[in-house]
Amino acid sequence: MGNWVVNHWFSVLFLLSDATWLGLNIFLFVHAFQSYEKADKYYYTREVLGSALAWARASARCLNFNSMLILLPVCRNLLSFLRGTCSFCRRTLRKQLGHNLTFHKLVAYMICLLTVIHIIAHLFNFEHYNRSRQARDGSLAFVLSTLSHKEKREDSWLNPLQSPNMTVEYVTFTSIAGLTGLIITVALVLMVTSAMEFIRRSYFEVFWYTHHIFIIYIIGLGIHGIGGLVRGQTEESLNESHPHRCAESFKHWDDQESHCKHPQFEGLPAESWKWILAPGVLYIFERILRFYRSQQKVVITKVVMHPSKVLELQMNKRGFSMEVGQYIFVNCPSISYLEWHPFTLTSAPEEDFFSIHIRAAGDWTENLIRVFEQQPSPIPRIEVDGPFGTVSEDVFQYEVAVLVGAGIGVTPFASILKSIWYKFRHADHNLKTQTAGHATLNFDKATDILTGLKQKTSFGRPMWDNEFSTIANAHPRSVVGVFLCGPQTLAKSLSKRCHQYSSLDPRKVQFYFNKENF
């Protein structure tokens, strides 16, 4: 009962993880907005820019926060480490780690939204800068916009448009903030558009190359605020000429007898680099580790061409250790030095080799299959990075497991079924799973268990309500893991039925849905 309570609360905690992330975004936005909207330091800045200042700075704060998070879900070694070290909350935390790419996409969408807000706010800021510089009406905004000339000090300016002839375009293309802002916006647009489902599935190479523009995005973001384009009053100037005391007498700032002097301003210190430094360093170590592992020699021990243009590669690599359901990244330098593609391992941990099955689904895979078809020419060199964990690793943590694969999506479960077969043969008493009898019998026979024919029976698409109802009745007090490697439409259907057929009583049957994402 104690373990159930722990797991239950961890399950609730991580179900709320997305809500927590959204709540942190809202908190950071509101906190920053209120700071720039009310702080005395920005009193004169608000006089020129209005509320657009707060909108720009609040969105920038949240952009920094999400840019800090965007790399973490793709640090695959970090995720594998967390997955391997989690024990007491194994089924809950590890399940959430399988949603890393979903979270990566959510953060990316938030970055896009915040970028739009930030750009629009700065467009208003530049319009306000331009109007106040052109006003010539003796208003406080006009006086503040001409301070650099009156004071004859380069550091006293508030308005970056320091002459009536200076244009917004000139400031945009000659300032660090403007130029880096344009660069990172273009980089973001290219990354997001190339990551669309259609492009990623049909033109993976375009997605792969374009997505690495993130390096330009991260570097540009890190130096974006160095120019200090948005400014606030200095602490010394606040003490000497506080705006609450001196703003209304701005026309007398030049008087010798006046106790209020011209306010002095300073650029805001760059903040973005502080947010992205730690995850950036972590990601660099991640890439170094992956590069080191990829350089270790891979020996291809067997090549099999299956029907429907499916290539099977059996390989060996020193020190390679895997679990069921894991995947690797594969590179073939003779095709492309830079492209790495993920493939699920189809071998079992008990076997003395590791294998993958590759279906022709794009230029890279078609070229790879073509190269291996050209036998007896020399076998091309293959580089392997991994293995990396997925939710399927947890299959043996369930008493009952339901494996659903569609098309090439059956490959993760080949490893699981083989491993179950080996565990039964060696009488592995640590195996919790009870329902592998049919799989072992069918796997170990040359003919179909039902018909006796060499052609195995194909059951087609199951009637899911009947399947779930049968499992729930047969295992009224079990925890059932439902694992899918297949399309999103099927995922929605299975997820819905997992909720539908789970008992409200936590002591009775519970269905947990797990989907492969890599």
Q: What is the dihedral of CA 155, 157, 159, 162, to 10 degrees?
A: -90
**Residues 386-427: pLDDT tens digits?**
888 777 777 777 888 888 877 666 777 788 888 877 877 776
Report which residue type is found at 302: K
Looking at the predicted structure, is the pLDDT value of residue 13 above 50? no
CA 4 to CA 6: how far, in whole Å? 5
Q: Which has more pLDDT, 101 or 317?
A: 317
**Residues 151-183: pLDDT tens digits?**
545 567 888 887 777 888 888 888 888 899 999
Report which residue type is found at 88: F
Domain borders along the chain are 12-275, 296-389, 392-443+459-516
**Residues 304-327: pLDDT tens digits?**
888 878 888 999 998 888 888 888
Would the CATH topology of 296-389 be identical to that of 392-443+459-516? no
Q: Which has more pLDDT, 80 or 470?
A: 470
Of 114, 127, 118, 116, residue with least CA distance to 49: 127
Output the CATH code of domain 296-389.
2.40.30.10
Query: What pLDDT is stored for residue 222 in this prediction?
Result: 92
Q: What is the rounded average pLDDT for all residues in the chain? A: 81
Query: What is the enclosing helix (H) or strand (E) of 499?
Result: helix 488-501
Q: Which has more pLDDT, 189 or 252?
A: 189
Q: Write out the DSSP string of 196-258.
A: SHHHHHH-HHHHHHHHTTHHHHHHHHHHTTTT--SEEE-HHHHHHS-HHHHGGGGGGTT-TT-
**Residues 103-139: pLDDT tens digits?**
899 999 999 999 999 999 999 998 898 888 887 777 8
The domain defined by 392-443+459-516 carries CATH number 3.40.50.80: yes
